[in-house]
Amino acid sequence: MRASRLLNILTTLQASGHVTATRLAEENEVSLRTIYRDIDALSAAGIPVYSERGPEGGYKLLEGYRVRLNGMSSEEAEALAFSGMAGPAAILGLGSILAAAQNKLMVALPESLREGADQMRQRFHLDTSAWHQETEEPLNIREIAAAVWRSTVIRMTYRSWHAEKDRTVCPVGLILKNGAWYVAAMTEDIVKTYRVSRILKLETTSQTFTRPRNFNLEAYWQENEKRLERELHPHQAKLRVSALGLRILKGISPSYVREHMDISPPDAKDYRTVSLPSSRPEQAVHEFLRLGAEIEVLEPSELRQAMAIVARDMAALYEE
């Protein structure tokens, strides 16, 4: 393990030119003290690495020193699928492997191409997490990822909206969506989606399964998203919306709802009538209340009455 870490430190220094001890510790998932010892070991082995002190300090290789260590392991090659997604890679236990693979690629590039790749990395950043929430780190995420990769059966206790159930499934894919992890798993040739954070207990087995040849994870997830949005918005609502309300409504609505909005031309007061898919009344009340007085629910009557009750209750809270 230490040998691979020393190699990674060496390729990082060669690829980046100047590296802080903090960055080396984070990429290799070790302490600063361990990095200091590793740098001493490299120096003792004759590697011309030296330190620069001060706020901008760090470690560098002697100018002109080159090492030819571009061989990439199968794990590193596989981890390259997470390029640009260091956070999710770290959650899956691939952080240091991905960093090593990227360093080896950078070292293998000619100087001119390496400079261009480094400029791209400094100017563009991919953040897969949603605003105001962190990416989930479920306890069993690494075990599930391993089961997906090895095509091994798992047993789990899963908490759905209705009840807790024990299930035996064949995991065929892992998805990260807006900071939440989902596993696509097969039971009796039917693939379903489970949110990983709702898996209460997990048991991995040595039993393997055959992954369907024609299963396409990306296509499955796209269709699954559409189906889920349809299930979450089984009703139709008609609203009277101000110009500001329409902008807010479009901004907070999922793509499925936006795609199915029917918007009338503005009236004399610049209000529009909007027909759109909506969730169940008890949920839709809270969604539409976010727009305050910028909308009026016209239909269905059940939702309009529920909005009126909540609005009266809120007004009573603020009466002096």
In whole angstroms, give the CA distance from residue 311 to residue 203: 48
Give the CATH number, domain containing residue 293: 3.30.70
Instruction: Count structural domains, the chain.
Output: 3
* Residue that finishes a domain, picked among 205, 229, 253: 229
Domain limit, last residue, from 229, 253, 270 = 229
Which residue, 189, 205, 229, sits at the end of a domain? 229
Q: Is residue 285 part of a domain?
A: yes
pTM: 0.57
Same-domain check for residues 211 and 237: no
DSSP string, 210-275: PPPTT--HHHHHHHHHHHHHHHH--EEEEEEE-HHHHHHHHHHS-HHHHHT-EEPPP-TTS-EEEE
The pLDDT of residue 86 is 62
Furthest-apart CA pair in the chain: how many Å?
82
**12 and 92: one domain?**
yes
Q: Are residues 53 and 113 in the same domain?
A: yes
Both 191 and 222 in one domain: the answer is yes
Q: What pLDDT does residue 90 have?
A: 62
Among residues 142, 125, 70, 132, the alpha carbon closest in space to that of 103 is found at: 70
DSSP per position, 5-68: HHHHHHHHHHHHSEE-HHHHHHHHT--HHHHHHHHHHHHHTT--EEEE-STT-EEEEPTT----
Asked if residue 129 belongs to a domain, the reply is no
Residues 179 and 258 in one domain: no
Asked if 9 and 107 sit in the same domain, the reply is yes
Q: Name the 3-class secondary structure at 276.
A: strand
Element (H, E) at 207: strand 199-208
> Does the residue 132 lie in any domain?
no
pLDDT at 26: 85
Q: What is the pLDDT along the chain (320 residues), one digit of tens a residue?
A: 566 677 778 778 877 778 888 888 888 888 888 888 888 887 877 778 888 877 667 888 887 776 655 555 656 655 555 555 666 666 666 666 666 666 666 655 556 656 666 666 667 666 666 666 666 777 888 888 889 888 999 999 999 878 899 999 999 998 888 778 899 999 988 999 999 999 999 999 999 999 988 899 989 998 888 888 888 899 999 999 999 999 999 998 988 899 999 999 999 999 999 999 999 888 899 999 999 999 999 999 999 999 999 999 998 998 86
Nearest Cα to Cα of residue 208 among 171, 168, 153, 155: 153
86, part of any domain: yes
* Sign of the four-CA dihedral 12, 17, 21, 26: negative
Shared domain check, 195 and 90: no
Omega into 171 within 30° of 0, i.e. cis? no
Do 240 and 220 share a domain, yes or no?
Answer: no
CATH number of the domain enclosing 33: 1.10.10.10
Same domain, 119 and 148: no
Per-residue pLDDT, 101 = 60
Domain hosting residue 292, numbered range: 233-317
Q: Are residues 67 and 7 in the same domain?
A: yes
